[in-house]
Structure 1
Amino acid sequence: MEKFIVTPKEDKSVTMTIRIDRALQEEYNDLAAKTNRSRNELISMALQYALDHMELKDE
């Protein structure tokens, strides 16, 4: 008989607090409602997109 093996969950997420404009929060609330995704998930996706497409310029 094969065993049911459970390994520890690897949690790579952290909690971070930021301050944003209320209007931006409302836009994410609306987007979350329209897409059935959490506001947290959408913001995380947006932050990753920004990093992936960022270009740093020297002054």
Structure 2
Amino acid sequence: MNDDFIVTPKEEKSVTISIRIDKTLQIKLDELSSRSNRSRNELINMALEYALKNVKFINGTKKEQ
């Protein structure tokens, strides 16, 4: 019988970052967090995923066009 204790490297699926947001945005996130029973972190991740899937990038400004 093999009694080896096998340990493999942990895959990092998330990273910790620090951002600054307006106080009013933090209040709205906290309210939504309470209403939805989701963490502020979870809501921010959902919002970022949505933004990245739906972003429209426009080169230049109106003056340059």
Bin the TM-score by the shorter chain.
0.7 to 0.9
Using the TM superposition, give the Cα deviation of residue 11 of structure 1 relative to its aligned residue in structure 2, in angstroms: 3.6
TM-score normalised to the size of structure 2? 0.74
- Over the aligned positions, Cα root-mean-square deviation in angstroms equals 1.4
Q: Which consecutive aligned stretches of 4+ in structure 1 deviate over 6 angstroms post-superposition?
A: none
Q: Which is bigger in relative contact order (C-alpha 8 A, separation at least 6)? A: 1
Aligned-residue sequence identity (percent) comes to: 55
The CA distance in 2 between the partners of 1:8 and 1:32, in whole Å, is 34
Aligned positions of 1:9-48 closer than 5 A:
10-48=11-49
- Unaligned 5+ segments in structure 2 are 1-7, 61-65
- Unaligned 5+ segments in structure 1 are 1-6
Pairs aligned (count): 53
TM-score normalised to the size of structure 1? 0.81
The CA distance in 2 between the partners of 1:9 and 1:37, in whole Å, is 26
